[in-house]
């Protein structure tokens, strides 16, 4: 096939939601459709011993949460599907934000019993800001929940996006009978098992056991209201991120998932051009290029491996090819290349725009790096970074384990979930994170992956501001307003609170204090 034909087969998307909305369960069902697993696990699989495939870390199995993005690749109905399952917990939202830079569409899971929740709102806004097409799945219809009209109204008012119901539910909870599939003009019957029964609209009059139910008749009236007063479906609006197709069902049952997935795969966009320092780069460009959006240590703890995940953006990837690292100009050979179902991998020989490929990292790559072939070099747009809000001093309880201690910190910091700072003269190691859960995961992984018990001494919440090198005066800082260095050697002031920050600004009006969050907000808003 030509590069153009190969690119047209790719569907690369992320699944995002608030915690417990059913995101990882949905991923499991999609893997079933792709014949990648024989039976679906659940996120909280402690009693059965069958855990979700995408929750591959030991701590994810123990805690029943997703703490890192998982990458899964499989063929489905002639398409090459790349799914990225993301953490729902807000403490790991930076990992999710970076993952969103590597996808062409997003599936948003909403718990129909709760509606839009805090993390849902945050992630939706990021998608809207980046113009990513959004497909919505209203989950848990097999429980009593909110009325469909209320859910649609909330999406339109809270998220400021048009909705178009692709399916419409008949009842909910114990009264749940199935959904009207508007796109395929059929009724999908819910029988309580995994088989979905499809009845064309023209044959419904042969099923009085369905049509004479009160729930069916009420749903039919609601559907005629939607047909008359609702928005018309426009695929162009969907691809611009201005309209979201909405589907109803239950990922756990499962019901409505296959109907959703088949429609989504046909509607979702193939890879599109990407912004770089030389302008837009077409996915059909002959020159291979891609960027690293994620680095993961210890996917195989026995081998202490490090895998860099590359989103292919143009040209053809071939195992063993030599590429240039845009940041340094150095050349590397990509001999070890893999595609994944969570932590299980297969060697991949070739790839095209849209594919997510794991390559061995000999400790040289960074998140955001561009890899490419040819003489012309460029770099893809920088990935978002977010300043930490909480800081803790980290030390090894056993000084004899210092080698493992430093190696563990170096590798886990390079994954991007936590940030490392050093205090000049004291040589203290300080780690910063968005939330407490990140510290817990860090401590757990240091113990079980690097065999190091650590001690964390809290500095509490701090307000970080980056400083310009020529303006640094060490005499202006103390324990209250600490001066530290980040991994790149840049000086950073950690202010105790807002009062300390305002006092410092008033006293030193000529000093430039850089708020990394504001820089990121500006950059993304003006893309």
- Write out the DSSP string of 228-284: HHSPPP-HHHHHTTSEEEEEE-BTTTTBSHHHHHHHHHHHSPPP--EEETTEEE-TT
Is 303 marked as a binding-site residue? no
Residues 244 and 340 in one domain: no
pLDDT at position 248: 96
Which of 46, 356, 107 lies closest to 256, judged by CA? 107
263 and 279 together in one domain:
no
- Tell whether 326 and 473 lie within a shared domain: no
Helices and strands (H and E) in the chain: how many: 14, 31
Q: How far apart are CA 402 and CA 133, in angstroms?
A: 47
Asked if residue 296 and residue 251 are part of one domain, the reply reads no
Task: Looking at the structure, tell me whether residues 263 and 278 fall in a common domain.
Answer: no
In sequence order, which residues have a C-beta less than 8 Å from that of residue 285 and are 6 or more positions away? 314, 315
* Helix/strand/coil percentages in the chain, nearest 5: 30, 30, 40
372 is in an annotated binding site: no
Whether residue 477 sits in one domain with residue 344: no
What is the number of structural domains in the chain? 3
Three-state DSSP at 129 gives: helix
Q: Could you tell me if residue 378 is inside a domain?
A: no
| Domain shared by 21 and 161, yes or no | yes
Residue 19 is labelled as binding a ligand: yes
Residue 204 lies in a domain: no
Whether residue 181 lies inside any domain: the answer is no
Task: Give the C-alpha separation, 524 to 139, whole Å.
Answer: 30
| Residue 362 annotated as part of some ligand binding site | no
> Was 435 annotated as part of a binding site?
no
270-to-5, 8, 205, 236, 241 alpha-carbon distances in Å = 10, 5, 39, 14, 15
**Same-domain pairing of 411 and 346:** no
Chunked into runs of 10 residues, the chain (527 residues) has average pLDDT values of: 92 85 79 56 38 43 45 86 70 68 92 84 78 93 92 92 95 92 94 82 94 94 91 93 94 88 94 93 95 76 72 94 92 81 67 91 86 91 76 92 89 78 86 81 84 91 89 87 89 92 92 70 40
Please tell me the predicted confidence (pLDDT) of residue 345: 61
Asked whether residue 207 is assigned to any structural domain, the reply reads: no
> Do the annotations mark residue 20 as ligand-binding?
yes
Q: Determine if residue 271 is labeled as part of a ligand binding site.
A: no
Contact criterion met (CB below 8 Å) for 215 and 283 = no
Asked if 170 and 211 count as a contact pair (C-beta separation under 8 A), the reply is no
Residues 432 and 364 in one domain: no
Residue 118 annotated as part of some ligand binding site: no
Does 207 appear as a known binding residue?
no
Distance CA 435, CA 390 (A): 7
3-class SS at 360? Answer: strand
Strands 134-139 and 70-76: unpaired
CA angle 337, 341, 347 (to 5 degrees): 25
Answer yes or no: is 515 a known binding residue: no
Considering only CA atoms, which of 334, 405, 328, 324 is closest in space to residue 371? Answer: 324
Helical (H) or strand (E) element with 46:
none
Residue 80 CA to its chain's centroid (Å): 19
Per-residue pLDDT, 129? 75
Residue 87 assigned to a binding site: yes
- In a domain, residue 201? The reply is no
Q: How far apart are CA 417 and CA 92, in angstroms?
A: 7
Q: How far apart are the C-alpha atoms of 23 and 111, rounded to whole Å?
A: 10
Q: Give every CB contact of residue 85 below 8 A, 6+ residues apart in sequence.
A: 14, 15, 23, 24, 27, 54, 66, 69, 70, 72
| Cα 386 to chain centroid, rounded | 15
- Among 372, 400, 421, give the residue marking a domain's end: 372
CATH number of the domain that residue 493 is part of: 3.30.70.3280
Helix (H, G, I), strand (E, B) or coil at 103: coil
- 112 and 133 both lie in a single domain: yes
Q: Is residue 190 part of a domain?
A: no
**How many residues are given for the chain?**
527
| Beta strands at 289-297 and 306-314: parallel, antiparallel or unpaired | antiparallel
In a domain, 79, yes or no: no
Check whether 211 is labelled as a binding-site residue.
no
Domain that holds residue 320: 274-372
Q: What is the CA radius of gyration of the chain?
A: 25
Q: Residue 18: inside a domain, yes or no? A: yes
Q: Considering only CA atoms, which of 115, 107, 113, 138 is closest in space to residue 250?
A: 138
| 21 known ligand binder | yes
Residue 322 is labelled as binding a ligand = no
Whole-angstrom distance, CA of residue 249 vs CA of residue 348? 35
Residue 142 marked in a binding site: yes
Residue 40 marked as a ligand binder: no
- Final residue belonging to a domain, choices 209, 243, 267: 267
Of the three residues 372, 399, 421, the one that is the final residue of a domain is 372
Is 88 one of the annotated binding-site residues?
yes
Residue 417 DSSP SS3: coil
Q: What DSSP assignment string belongs to 361-377?
A: --S---TT-EEE-SS--
DSSP-assigned letter for residue 141? T
Do residues 32 and 141 both lie within one domain?
yes
Same domain for 114 and 52? yes
Hey, what long-range contacts does 465-468 have (CB within 8 A, 24 or more apart)? 465/492, 465/493, 465/495, 465/501, 465/513, 465/514, 465/515, 466/490, 466/491, 466/492, 466/513, 466/514, 466/516, 467/491, 467/492, 467/493, 467/511, 467/512, 467/513, 467/514, 468/512, 468/514
CATH of the domain at 364: 3.40.50.300
């Amino acid at each position: 096939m030509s590069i153009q034909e190969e690119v047209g087969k790719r569907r690369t998307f992320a699944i995002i939601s608030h915690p417990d909305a059913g995101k990882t369960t949905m991923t499991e069902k999609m893997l079933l459709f792709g014949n990648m697993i024989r039976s679906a696990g659940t996120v909280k699989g402690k009693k059965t011993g069958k855990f979700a495939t995408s929750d591959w870390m030991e701590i994810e199995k123990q805690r029943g949460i997703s703490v890192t993005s998982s990458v899964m690749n499989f063929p489905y109905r002639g398409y090459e599907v790349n799914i990225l399952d993301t953490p729902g917990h807000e403490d790991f939202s930076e990992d999710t934000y970076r993952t969103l830079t590597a996808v062409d569409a997003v599936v948003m899971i909403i718990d129909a019993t709760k509606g839009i929740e805090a993390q849902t709102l945050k992630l939706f806004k990021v998608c809207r800001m980046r113009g990513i097409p959004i497909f919505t799945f209203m989950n848990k219809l097999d429980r009593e929940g909110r009325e469909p009209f209320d859910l649609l109204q909330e999406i339109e008012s809270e998220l400021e996006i048009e909705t178009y119901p692709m399916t419409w539910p008949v009842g909910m909870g114990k009264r749940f009978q199935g959904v009207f599939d508007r796109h395929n003009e059929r009724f999908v019957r819910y029988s309580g098992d995994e088989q979905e029964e499809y009845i064309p609209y023209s044959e419904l009059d042969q099923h009085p056991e369905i049509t004479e139910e009160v729930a069916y008749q009420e749903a039919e009236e609601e559907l005629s209201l939607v047909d008359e007063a609702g928005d018309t479906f426009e695929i162009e609006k969907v691809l611009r991120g201005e309209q979201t197709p909405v589907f109803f069902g239950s990922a756990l049952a499962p019901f409505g998932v296959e109907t959703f997935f088949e429609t989504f795969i046909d509607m979702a966009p193939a890879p599109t051009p990407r912004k770089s320092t030389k302008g837009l780069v077409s996915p059909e460009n002959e020159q291979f290029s891609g960027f690293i959006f994620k680095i993961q240590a210890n996917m195989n703890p026995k081998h202490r491996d490090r895998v860099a995940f590359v989103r292919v953006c143009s040209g053809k990837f071939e195992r063993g090819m030599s590429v240039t690292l845009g940041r340094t100009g150095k050349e590397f050979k990509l001999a070890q290349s893999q595609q994944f179902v969570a932590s299980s991998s297969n060697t991949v020989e070739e790839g095209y725009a849209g594919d997510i490929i794991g390559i061995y990292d000999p400790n040289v790559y960074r998140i955001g790096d561009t890899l490419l072939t040819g003489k012309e070099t460029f770099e893809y747009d920088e990935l978002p970074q977010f300043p930490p809000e909480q800081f803790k001093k980290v030390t090894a309880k056993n000084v004899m384990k210092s080698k493992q201690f430093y190696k563990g910190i170096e590798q886990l910091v390079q994954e991007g979930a936590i940030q490392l700072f050093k205090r000049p003269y004291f040589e203290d190691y300080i780690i910063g994170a968005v939330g407490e859960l990140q510290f817990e995961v860090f401590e757990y992984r240091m113990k079980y992956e690097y065999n190091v018990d650590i001690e964390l001494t809290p500095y509490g919440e701090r307000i970080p501001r980056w400083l310009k090198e020529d303006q640094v005066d060490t005499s202006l800082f103390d324990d209250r307003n600490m001066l530290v260095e980040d991994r790149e050697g840049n000086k950073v002031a950690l202010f105790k609170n807002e009062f300390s920050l305002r006092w410092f600004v008033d006293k030193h009006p000529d000093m430039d204090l850089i708020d990394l969050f504001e820089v990121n907000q500006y950059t993304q808003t003006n893309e």
